[in-house]
Structure 1
Amino acid sequence: MTANPIFILTVLFGLIFASEWLCKHTFLKYISSSLLVIVLGAIVANLNLIPSASDSSPVYDTIFKYVAPASIFFLLLGVNLKQLRKAGLPMLIAFILGSVGTMLGVIIALNAIDYQAVFGDQFAAIAGMMTGTYTGGSANFNAIALHYDVFREGVVFTGVIVADNIVTAIWMVVSLSIPVFMQKLRPHPQVVSGLNGDEHMERENEQIEPMGLALMLGIFSIAILFSDVVAHSLSSVGWNIPSILILTTIALILAQSTRIQNLAGAKMLGMFSVYLFLAVVGAYCEIGALIDVGSNALDILLFTTLIVLIHSVFLIGVSLLIKADWSIVAIASQANIGGASTALALAKSFKRSDLILPAILAGSLGSGLGTYLGFIVAALLGS
C-alpha cells in the first residue's frame, strides 16, 4: 500500500495542506510552511507511511525531474526586468553590493569550517546553492541543488535549509533595527516620494480557469523540452551548460511579455510545486542519517551565519562610504537574503511607500541573477 503511487501522492498533498493550515491557524505560524512541510515529510517517512530515501519511489524521481524545475520556471515568470529602472539607482547599487558581499561570505565561510568533512564532495554545489539563495531566494537554491543532485543527500540538504531558515528569520529582525542604529551613527534624510506601493502588491489569491491552466502547463512543457534539447545539443559539441540554466533563461525571457505577466496561476503553481518538492526532500531524511549529520549541525549553522554576517559587514561598510539611505540598505539586504516577499514586508514596516515597488523589483532581480551567480561560484570552487 505504501508503495502505491496514488497513495504516496495523497499523503504528499495532505502534508502540503497540513503545513499551510498549521502555519495559518496555530502557534506554528512562526515557522515557515517550507520548513514545516519538510519536517512533516520526514515524520511520515520515518513512520513508514510512505517510502524513505532507501526505498525510493518512481513518484519521487518524477517530482525531482519535472515538478522541481516547474517551481523555478513558474516563480520566475513574475520577474519583470523592464521595470527595474523604477527601483532607482540607490536600491540597485545596494542590492548589487549585497550580492558581492554574499559571494565573499560564501567563500570565506566555506574555508572557516572543514567543508569536506561536513559537505563531502558536494561542497562546491552547496556553496553555489547558498550564493543563489542569499542573492535572491530559494528558487535559485533549488535550481543549483537539482543540477548537482544535492537533494539526494537528504539530511545535509535539509540541514542547510533549516540553518537557512533560522538565519533568515534572525536577519529579518536585525534588518528592522539597522536604520534605527545606523541613523544614530550617521544620519541620513529619508525622502518619501509618495509612490503608492499598494498599487503594485502581488496578487495573493489568483483565480485561474481551465484554459489558463492548460496554457500555463503547456508553456512549461515546451520550455523544459526545449531546454533539454538545447543542453544535449550543446554538450555534444563540448559546451556543458545545465538544462536548468537554459530553462531559467527561457522563463526570464518569457516573463518580459505583458501577455505572460497577465496570465494568472504562475505564482500558485510555483509555490505548490515548491511544497511538493520539499515534502519529498523531507521523506529523504531518515532518522539514522539525521543522527549521522548531528555532529555537523553546528558547522552548518556556523557556515550559514558567517555568510550573512560577512554580507552585512561588507554592505554596511561600503554604504557608510557612499552615504546610503539606511532604509534602502536594509531592504536591499533583505532582497538578497530573504527575497522579494521579506523585502516588501520590511518596506511596509518602515512605512516607506516609496520603497515598496523597488523592494519587489530588487527581489525580482535577485530571483533572476542568483542562479547564474550560484553556478559561477560552484564551477569556480569545483574546478
Structure 2
Amino acid sequence: MGSLIKADQTWVLWAILTGLAAGSIYLEGKYKWASKVTSSIIALAGALILSNLHIIPTESPVYDTVWSYIIPLSIPMLLFNCNMKKIWKESGRLLGIFIIGSFGTTLGAFIGYFALHKYVPSLGYVAAIMTGSYIGGGVNFVALSDAFNVPSDIIASATVADNLLMALYFFVLLAMPSIPFFKKHFSHPLVDEIESSGMAALTSDNSNISRKTEITIKDVAFVIASSFIIVAASTEVAGLFSKIIPTGNAFLKALNSLLGNMYLVLTTITMLLATFKSEFFSSLRGAQEIGMFFMAVFMAVIGVPASISQIIYKAPLLLVFCAIMVLINLLVTLLGAKICKFSLEEAIIASNANIGGPATAPAMASAKGWTPLVGPSILVAVFGYIIGNYFGIIVGNILI
C-alpha cells in the first residue's frame, strides 16, 4: 500500500520531520503532560503514527540524509563543551557496562534461538546478524549478512522486525528514569542533579526549552561552519586510514575498523579541539540548542520505518526473537549495573549504545540532559562496531 506523500516529495518530508521536532519541543515547553512524556517520545510517536497510517513513506532519501548528514553535524555541536580528560575518564566507566551488555546480547541470541528455532526457519542467520547489530550497529548487520551469505528475504524480515523493536525500545529507555522501581533500586546522580538544579534538558523540565539565550549571527555562523569543517576533516581522515591500513590479519583488521570509522575520528577531533581550544568553542552559544534540535529530527526519523503491518504479516516471530535479545541485554546490563554500582543513566545509555549504535546513544543522552554521557556514549558505541563482528561470527559459527 502506497503512502499519501511519496518518497521523492523531498520538501514536504523535510517540512514534516522538522515540524514534528519543533512541535514536540513546543509541547514539552508548554504542557506538563508533554514534559513528562518528553519531546523525544512525542516526535518518535508522531512519525510512527504517520508512517503506519500511510501518510508518509517508510523509506526515502530524506531519511538517509538525516542519518548521513544531520547526525554527524550535530555531534560536534553537542561536544563543543566537552573536556577530553574528563570524557576519557568517564567513557572508561561506560565501557565496562557496555561490555557487560554485549555479553547480554549474545546470551539473548542463544536463548531466543533455542526457544524459537523450531518455528522460524534459518533462525541461526538472524541470530548471527542481530548479535552483531545489537552490539555494534548497521555496519555489523551488513558485514555479517555478507559473511554468512544470508538470504535476502531473511535480511528484509529481520530489518522490519528490528526497525519496529528499536522504536518501541527507545520508548522504554526514555521512560525508565521516571519509573519509581528503577529510581528506588539504582543510583541516578544526573537525574538528581537536573531535578535539584531546576535545569532540565529537553526531557526533564520546561526551563531549558524556553530559557532566554542571546545567540548572535556570529555564533550561528561559527557553530555551523565549525561543524561542517570538523565533519569534512573527519570523513577524509577516516577514509585515508581505511585505505592505508592493511587488513591482512585480525589485529590490522581491527585497527582498520577503529581508525577508519568516521564517528570515532569525528568524536576524537572534536574533543581535542574542545579541550585545547576551549576558550573558542566554549564561547560559542547556540551549539547545544542547534544540536539538540537536530537530534529531535533524528528521533522522528527513528519512528518512520517501524511498519506495524509488515511485522504482523511478515515477521511476528522475528519480532519476538529480537525482543528476547533486547530484553536479555537490558536485564544483564541492569544486573551488571547493580552489582558493579553503575548508575541508572549509565546502564540506560550503555544499553542504547548496544542496541542503537553511535547515533542513537548520544541522541538520547543529550535529549535527557545527561551531557557528561554524550561523548562517552559515542566512544563505546563505536567500540561496538569493532567487537560486534567477532561476537556475531562466534554465534553464527555455533548456530548455523
TM-score normalised according to structure 1 size = 0.68
The aligned counterpart of 2:284 is: 263
1:199-238 map, 5 Å: 204=208, 205=211, 206-237=213-244, 238=246
The aligned counterpart of 1:280 is: 301
Structure 2: which amino acid aligns with 1:299? F
- In structure 1, which of residues 63, 67, 78 is the aligned counterpart of residue 66 of structure 2? 63
Per-residue deviation, residues 156-211 of structure 1 (Å, max 9, x unmatched): 2341232243155346533321269xxxxxxxxxxxxxxxx859987934442221
Indicate whether 1:156 and 2:155 are aligned: no
The aligned counterpart of 2:190 is: none
The aligned counterpart of 1:375 is: 385
Structure 2: which amino acid aligns with 1:378? G
- In structure 2, which of residues 51, 58, 75 is the aligned counterpart of residue 45 of structure 1? 51
The aligned counterpart of 2:321 is: 299
CA–CA separation in structure 2 for the residues paired with 1:375 and 1:70: 20
Structure 2: which amino acid aligns with 1:72? I
- In structure 2, which of residues 2, 16, 26 is the aligned counterpart of residue 11 of structure 1? 16
Q: Are the counterparts in 2 of residues 79 and 368 from structure 1 also a CA contact under 8 Å?
A: no
Per-residue deviation, residues 212-238 of structure 1 (Å, max 9, x unmatched): 111111111112221222222223223
Relative distance call for 1:261 and 1:107 in structure 2 (3 A) is farther
The aligned counterpart of 1:177 is: 184
Structure 2: which amino acid aligns with 1:209? T
Shift in Å, 1:124: 0.5
Shift in Å, 1:8: 2.0
Q: Are the counterparts in 2 of residues 35 and 162 from structure 1 also a CA contact under 8 Å?
A: no
CA–CA separation in structure 2 for the residues paired with 1:274 and 1:119: 30
- 1:63 is paired with a residue of what secondary structure? helix
Percent identity, please. Answer: 19
Structure 1: which amino acid aligns with 2:109? L
Indicate whether 1:246 and 2:265 are aligned: yes
Indicate whether 1:36 and 2:42 are aligned: yes
TM-score normalised according to structure 2 size = 0.66
Unaligned runs of 5+ in 2: 114-122, 146-154, 188-195, 202-206, 247-255, 353-360, 394-400
The aligned counterpart of 2:356 is: none
Q: Are the counterparts in 2 of residues 216 and 266 from structure 1 also a CA contact under 8 Å?
A: yes
Structure 2: which amino acid aligns with 1:266? A
Indicate whether 1:289 and 2:321 are aligned: no
Q: Are the counterparts in 2 of residues 127 and 374 from structure 1 also a CA contact under 8 Å?
A: yes
Please tell me the root mean square deviation across aligned C-alpha atoms, in Å: 4.3
CA–CA separation in structure 2 for the residues paired with 1:277 and 1:335: 17
Shift in Å, 1:364: 4.7
Q: Are the counterparts in 2 of residues 105 and 311 from structure 1 also a CA contact under 8 Å?
A: yes
Structure 1: which amino acid aligns with 2:379? L
Per-residue deviation, residues 128-167 of structure 1 (Å, max 9, x unmatched): 25xxxxxxxxxxxx99999999999465234123224315
CA–CA separation in structure 2 for the residues paired with 1:75 and 1:364: 8
Indicate whether 1:113 and 2:130 are aligned: no
Aligned length: 328
Relative distance call for 1:236 and 1:318 in structure 2 (3 A) is closer
CA–CA separation in structure 1 for the residues paired with 2:200 and 2:132: 37
Unaligned runs of 5+ in 1: 130-141, 181-196, 320-327, 347-355
